[in-house]
Every structure is written in structure tokens, then in C-alpha cells.
Chains A and B, each alone.
Chain A
Amino acid sequence: MAELRIAIIGGGPAGLAAAATAVDQGARVTLIDESSRLGGQIWRPHLEKAPAAARPWLRRLRRPNVEVRSATQVINADVEAGTLATRGGSLHFDRLILATGARELLLPFPGWTLPGVTGAGGLQALVHGGFDVSGRRTVVAGSGPLLLQVAHSLKRHGARVVRVAEQAPWPRLLRFGRHLGGRRLRQALGLATRRFRTSSWPLAAHGRDRVEAVTLRRSGRSETLRCDALAVGFGLVPNLELPRLLGCREHAGGVWVDEHQRTSVAQVYAAGELTGICGAEGALVEGASAAHHATRTAIPPELLAARERERRFGQALARSFQLRDELRQLANAHTLVCRCEDVPKAALDPQPDWRSAKLHTRCGMGACQGRICGAAAEVLFGWQTSGSRPPLAPVPISRLIASSQEPCSFSTTVKGVNP
């Protein structure tokens, strides 16, 4: 059989491990990522410098059989035809590995649309992108292990982190700590800060043209802190747009996969946060497993065992950082839920479901296509978002006109790279 062409969407840990494994097994790999540099969110380069953890994986991709298409947005996929359409051109594949990762869950609260209020991982990403946070009074809030990591990283970049507010209660975190085991627990303790508070969450951000202060709930009372930056993230939600377009079955908020990382759609695999949030180590394992199966090589037993371990870690993560009901009540009638179209919560209250909300209030109809407000609406109203259609992301019309039926052939695009 001719060389197997594997397309991998997403250049975070899962995608990198999948690419490195697949090329080791003799496949031709195209790795596609939206960002201009590989690494995903967790291994996002600072300015142009990749973090140490990512470098060995990046080195493994410097091979003639790997083509990296960075700064490339997938706008459509057709599994039967084996084609992917991107903002820059098309390509053919025999197997597709989805590793599109996760985004932050942002929940609306009064003032959350003020400039200077960002995601938690969002602020870290912006700092890595060149935003100067030094000297800024910063409050980090929300939920999940990411908060301490973000706070730590912001401090290293000169921020004055005045509070880290975790909504989960202390006993749950202790139980989670026991689950972490030696190495991870030591890592977590290394991030500990005396600014850390549990059972604490943002009630409102204040300011005229930008955030100037935040009021946090804390043991039945509230505290108001002056700040120049408020970084809030309530955990992660998988990026399901592409698997939904392909019709992949879902399970427990992520893409359903079997133990070989196969989705319900033939020739399509999913790996990493997409299949359930369990962190970078789980993502590496799943990415490698997917590539093994896609290249018809047996998945090494140690990977299968590690996969089980990381899945249990993911379950502990979900249990420990479960969102409290109070967070559903943060938005008042005037609080905007859809920030693209400025739709307030009051407009959504009478709507019976997500589709009606979209049709009758414009919620989710803006540029982000409901990626932010849809996830929030699932939490606030218990609605189910669904379905996606091409184009998966806004794209110049010239690109849709140029999208000929003839994808550029694989051999042409790698010619320049071949030795």
C-alpha cells in the first residue's frame, strides 16, 4: 500500500505526540494549527520561544515526512472524500486525528465585558503574545489547577498577583491533592501562594472604561480589591466544532472514543482534551495511541495503562472542581451573555432552548459563533448546543470562491521540504 497520509488538527501536546508517533511509523503527516507557532495553549511559546517541555516533541517533527501548516484554520472537512479545506488551501488525507483541545469556560458576571477582564489562561496567552503585565495588580479567579499555574506564570512576568480565588471548597482540593500523587503534588505545592483562597469567586468587576476593581465572594462575605487585570476562567470545555461537523458521537461533554482513540466516524480519531479534560500528560498518551492505531501498529501496553491512569485523573479533576450552583446566578438581567451581539441575560430568560435563543435574540450569532456564550448558556440554562456547518470559522469570501474541487496535492506541498 502507498504511504498513509495522516492529517492532524491541533498542535498542542496531543497533536504533537500523534505527529511524532505517526511519522516514526512511516506515515506522511500534515500537522495543522491555528497559531503561528506549535505548542497549543499549555505549551504556548513566549514571544517566539517554545517552553522546555515542548522542545523534544518539536525536534521530532523536523523530518521530511512531516509538513507543518501553522497559522492555518480548518473551515471544512469531508471524511468520505478525504479532504480538508483550510483558510489557505486544501489537502487530502487517509486518516484524520482531531486534537483541537479545549477553550476556557467563561461565565458572565456583572462587569465581565470590561477591558482588562480576560480569561485566566487567556491572560497568560496574551502575556506570551507580548502583553506587558509587569507591575499590574492582578486578580486570578475561577476554577481548576490552571489558576495557580497562571498566577505563577504572571508573577514571573512581573505581575502583582493580589488574589487567586478558587470557587471549589478546600476539602475537595485536599482530596484532589491526595489523587495527584508525589510528583504532581510537589508541582502543585511549588505553585502555592499565600494569596490563594478557596470557596471564593467573582461577583462583579467594576470600572468605567476598563476594570478598576473586583468584588469577590469569600466565606459568606465579600471583599473588593483594586486591580488592573482580572483573569477569570471556570475550567475548560472541549472545542467540538470540527467533530460535530463530521458527526462524531459525543459522550459526557466530549468526543466519544474507544480505547484506540477511534471516534464513531470511520478513519477519524480524537485525542487530548477533546475527549474529556485530563491535562497535557493524558493528551500526550492519547495522541500517541491514536497515531499507533491509525498506522496499524499495536498500542504499547504502557500507553494503554497510562491512558487509564490519566482518565482517572481527569475524573478526579472533574469531581474536585465541579462548579457550584451560585455561579449560575452571577449574571443579572442586564449582564450581557453574548458579547459579540450584546445580548443580555433578560433576553434569554424566556427562551426555551439554544436554537430559539439564537433565532430570536441573536445570541451566538456573532463572530465567535457562540463559542463563548454557547458554553456559558449550557451552564446557565442547561441548554444543549449542537451542530456546526462550514465554514467553521469566519473566512474571507474570496477563499470560499477559490476553494476549487481540486485540493493541492500532497506531493507538491512537501516538495520544498524533501531532502
Chain B
Amino acid sequence: MTRFAIVGAGMIGTAVACELAEAGADVVLVHDGPVGGGATAAGMGHLVALPGSPGQTELTQRSLALWRSHSLPDDCETLCCGTLWVARDTRELEELVSQAWVLRDAGTPAELIPAKRLRVLEPELRPDLAGGLRVLSDRAIYAPRAAAELWRRAHSAGARRRQARVAAVAAGQIQMANGTTLEADCVVLAAGDRSRLLWPQLPVRPRKGHLLITTRRATPFIYHQIIEAGYTRSAHGRADASVACNVQPRPTGQVLIGSSRQEGIEHADVEPAILQRMLQRAATYLPGIERLTALRAWTGMRAATPDGEPLIGWIEDGLAVATGHEGLGITQAPATAELLSQLVLGWRPTIDPAPYCPQRFAAKPARRPDPERHALGAVP
């Protein structure tokens, strides 16, 4: 039986562990710190049909379908809030119209909302918006618990774990900071932005984000996750520091407020100036947010790639990777795990793996792993 060692117990690592273990493979999950304690805990847990490149759209759509087939326990705090994209002007509204068609073509119902109806749906929105787009199938989950649930499933399928800090990875081997090593037929690097510390050639860099959550309220402040139409530009943009209104209701009556993106920042400190810009932006769309009480602010590092597509597949023989999802790691985790498992087990992939090939940035095409050799992973 092929032995897989997965580095990282975030949403991606636990999803990969679950997928491989349930396929009957021998799985060891290697991590330090809590399950789902990195970017998984830092993000919003929004399962969102975010339109992007055809590749992104395919991975996202496949993933959302897989998420729907998972039944998550109550403590994952699933909230079927949908997403309400809001446009400030006619130009943004046109963007939402084309976004609606992209989503509909991909099989996701998306409903254009006239300006007048926006405030019926969300009374806290400012009155002079141009209109919106509602995607009712989007949901929010509490991702650290979802990661814990996937680890629980992996564990009941026989996966084991090793809690240790990883110092280095190589094909077929992991070196721990405490000096011990772990041998495996295949090492899967799924440590988010920290993956580049273990494999420096990996084209992944951190994109820092801030989030803030309010105290609980007895009455809901908003009913949908509300995102400004310009968010997609901010998310895919290249500015040094950008903010966009992205606000989520929580089942606890709390409100989760985002978002920010910063390039080239390595420290995780909460930066008051960024927090201020982010909150100002949210208050532009939801003026009543100023009355709410800020409970806690934190930061996280998204794993970003040069072209905005994740890295899923072989780096070299005995070493595979699943990271680089930027802000979509939670949304895309199930399809990423499915695809990566199919690739490392030598099975036929459900979706085309080419857009996510980790070798795509290399100057010359990298050597393709021998399919025969990797078919070893096939479960009898």
C-alpha cells in the first residue's frame, strides 16, 4: 500500500488526508499547532461561487458540488446566507450582469436584484446603490471545525497523524525540527503560504488579510454575505494594499467584517491603519456598522500564486503539492483534494488538471512523472 505523508492540517491538508484515507491509502498527517489553525481559522469560511478564469470556475463549481454532498455536523455552524453582490454604479452593475451569466452558464442560479429591492433584502445597505446580484446557493461555514470533521473522517478511515514541526521536505521524506524523519512514497505539501519555506522554488507568496468580528447581537444586522462588486478586482488585483467590503453574518449574531489584501508583508501583526481602511470601506456600504462593537481583530496569510490559480499536482517524483488557493482555499478544498488524490493515485481526474499544474511557471516543461510508477498508488 502506498504511503502518503501530508504536511499541513488546514482545510486543504485535512481534505486531502480524508480523500486519500477513504480511498484506502495509508495516510500520515504531519502538522504542528491545532487542526485548522492557520489560514483556515483566519478566513471567513465563505463557500462562494466566485467567477474567475475558466479553470477557477471549474474547480470552484466542482468543489461547491462536493461541499453540498458533505453533511457537516452542527458545530461547523453552516449558514445558508447566500451572497449578495452590490454595485455602486452602472459600470459595476454591468459587471454583475456578466457575472450572472458566467455563473448561470456554470449551473449556479444567480438573481439580479434591482436597486429598490436591495434595501428590502438588506435594510442596513446605503440607499443609493445601483443594484445587486444574489447567489442563494453560497454558504458560510466555521472552517476550523470543518477541518476537524474532515480529520475525524480521515482518522476513522485509518489515517494517523504526527504532531511535529516540519523542518524540510524532499521527495519521499519529511524532516522534523526535532531531528526525526518520516519516510513515505509520496509527500504532499499542503501548508498554505508556509509551503514555500519548505520548498523555496514554489511560486507562492503570502497575501496578508485582516478580519474583524463583532460581539453578539440579539437581532441580525444583515442576512446575506454582502460583497461589493469591485471585490473580484481587489481579490485578483496587484495593488500593494487594497480593501474591499465583504461582510458576513454569523449564526451567533456576530458580524464578520473584511477584507484587506497586502503584498510583501511577512509579519502577522494587526495593523490599525489597515483595519481602519477596511472598516471605513465596510461602513461605506453598511453605515450602521459603526454602531456595532468590535470584539476581536486578526490577520492571516493567503497563499497567492503569480497567476491566481492554485498549485495542485506533482512537483517531482515523490513530492506533490496542494496550495496557492489565495482566498478560495475553503471553497476549493474538496475538489482540490479529489483532484490531487486522483493525480497521486494515478486515477483519471474528474476535471482537467492542466490549469493547476505546479510546473506551469517553469521555463521549460518539466518532466512528467511516469504514470506507471504512480499507478502504484492505485488501491487494489
A interface residue numbers (CB < 8 A to B): 76, 85, 352-353, 355-356, 359-360, 365-367, 369, 389-391, 394-401, 403, 405
Contacts and interface: CB of A to CB of B under 8 A. Distances in A.
A401 B297 contact: no
B298 A359 contact: no
Contact of B276 (A365, A395, A396, A400): A400
A196 to B, nearest CB: 41
Given A391-B297, A397-B214, 17 more contacts: A355-B33, A355-B34, A359-B36, A359-B37, A360-B34, A367-B295, A391-B296, A394-B293, A394-B295, A395-B294, A397-B212, A397-B291, A400-B272, A400-B275, A400-B276, A401-B280, A405-B273
B279 interface: yes
User: Size class of B's contact patch?
Assistant: 20 to 34
B298 A389 contact: yes
Contact of A394 (B270, B280, B294): B294
A153 B199 CA distance: 65
A4 B1 CA distance: 71
A397 B283 contact: yes
**Lowest 4 A-B CB distances belong to which pairs?**
A356-B34, A398-B290, A359-B144, A394-B293
B296 A369 contact: yes
Nearest to A357: B34
A360 B144 contact: yes
Given A85-B272, A359-B144, A401-B290, A369 B33 contact: no
A206 to B, nearest CB: 29
A341 to B, nearest CB: 9
A403 B37 contact: no
B224 interface: no
B179 to A, nearest CB: 22
Nearest to B257: A397
Nearest to A78: B272
A4 to B, nearest CB: 25
A394 B296 CA distance: 7
B297 to A, nearest CB: 6
Given A355-B33, A360-B34, A396-B292, A401 B144 contact: no
Given A360-B34, A360-B144, A391 B294 contact: yes
Interface in B137-195: 144-145, 148
A399 to B, nearest CB: 8
B15 interface: no
Contact of A397 (B269, B279, B296): B279
Contacts of A391: 294, 296-297
A390 B298 CA distance: 8
B261 to A, nearest CB: 19
Interface string B124-137: 00000000000000
A308 B94 CA distance: 74
A353 B33 CA distance: 9
Contacts of B5: none
Contact of A367 (B34, B36, B215, B289): B215
A397 B34 contact: no
A355 B33 CA distance: 8
Contacts of A399: 294
Contacts of B275: 390, 400
Most buried by A among B148, B216, B290, B294: B294
A200 B269 CA distance: 46
A352 B279 CA distance: 35
Nearest to B77: A362
B307 to A, nearest CB: 32
A397 B293 contact: yes
5 contacts: A85-B272, A355-B37, A360-B35, A367-B295, A396-B291
B298 A401 contact: no
A353 B144 CA distance: 15
Most buried by A among B269, B291, B295: B295
